[in-house]
Amino acid sequence: MKGKILVTGADGFIGSHLVEHLIKNGYPVKAFVYYNSFNSYGWLDTIDKSVLKDVEFFAGDVRDPNGVRVAMEGCESVMHLAALIAIPYSYHSPDSYVDTNIKGTLNILQAAKQLKTKRVLVTSTSEVYGTAQYVPIDEKHPFQGQSPYSASKIGADRMSESFFKSFELPVTIVRPFNTFGPRQSARAVIPTIITQLLNNVTEIKLGDLTPTRDLLYVKDTIDGFLKIAESPKTIGEEVNIATQSEITVGALAQKLIDLINPQARIVQEEQRLRPSKSEVFRLYGSNEKIMKLTDWKQQYSFDQAIKETVGWFSNSENLKQYKHDIYNI
């Protein structure tokens, strides 16, 4: 893998970190960002301009097949991260998840087939597994559409699988578990807790405290993307990126409270609870396959990663971009 890489969702949380990582590793990058009238490149606008000086930007929408095909021209490979991800928002706007997550992925696959793209990485999510039926969750675990979001990602994954099996398109489905770190969306639990604590809120509003999550630092996630892309053994495969560990939301919240403001306490808020059959109560992923097919291994301990994350949010310029006093769906 030597040629230009298109990264969709480059303006987002994981995508912006991935662009930086690819540049650092000597890869030419085209960043596909969501078109908007403000000419905003999302989180890429916060990165040192000297780092991005050779990046080619393309503003578009993955729901538009023509724009996707134009963006992919001249690219040897594509890392497709663009998606709608918020679970609560998917409850009342499921159509938009089908359009973006399934149809958007289909547009990527069709363009890759036409252009004979050499590698296609499609980003999945641990949410496709639903509540663990066994642990650690490996890639053979059954899929469960416990929310419109997870159902749309299952659809995108299976569409990707079909293009590998039907057309021998060199697709890999990359499945990160619960990624966290600097720049993460306010709709995720760790930014929700940290931003409240750093704004001196003493009653931290959360939903269910009992679910467990396999928390993966974003730097380990993006390293997994690159290691998977560089390994021919991963073509046609679905590959977890996970730490093979778990922590409850309640224990996570208490760790952050102890670290930032021990006087704070947790308050459960009704509007933050998922419907009981939709809540994913246990996520604890297996990383055996990625370690077998690549030389990836977890580099950051949870304690080290959470300190770096809190440090980033503690910067006033970063913190002010988050609305800590509302429920971000």
3-state helix/strand/coil string of 239-274: EEECCCCCEEHHHHHHHHHHHHCCCCEEEECHHHCC
Please tell me the predicted confidence (pLDDT) of residue 26.
96
> What are the pLDDT digits (tens) for 278-312?
999 999 999 999 999 999 999 999 999 999 999 99
Please tell me the predicted confidence (pLDDT) of residue 132.
98
Divide the 329 residues of the chain into consecutive groups of 10 and give the mean pLDDT of each group.
93 98 97 96 96 96 98 98 96 97 98 98 98 98 98 98 98 98 95 96 95 98 98 98 98 97 94 94 98 98 97 97 88
> What are the pLDDT digits (tens) for 247-263?
999 999 999 999 999 99
Please tell me the predicted confidence (pLDDT) of residue 261.
96
Angle between helices 13-24 and 218-230 (to 10 degrees): 60
Please tell me the predicted confidence (pLDDT) of residue 325.
87
Indicate the residue type of 144. Answer: Q
Kindly state the tokens that stand for 83: 């998606």
| Fold of the domain spanning 182-213+245-283+301-319 | UDP-galactose 4-epimerase; domain 1 (3.90.25)
b vs e for 19-55, b when ≥16 Cβ sit within 10 Å of the residue's Cβ? Answer: bbbbbeeebbbbbbbbeeeeeebbbbeebeeeebeeb
Any idea which architecture 5-179+215-241 has in CATH?
3-Layer(aba) Sandwich (3.40)
Please tell me the predicted confidence (pLDDT) of residue 170.
98
Please tell me the predicted confidence (pLDDT) of residue 30.
98
Query: How is the chain split into domains, by residue range?
Result: 5-179+215-241, 182-213+245-283+301-319
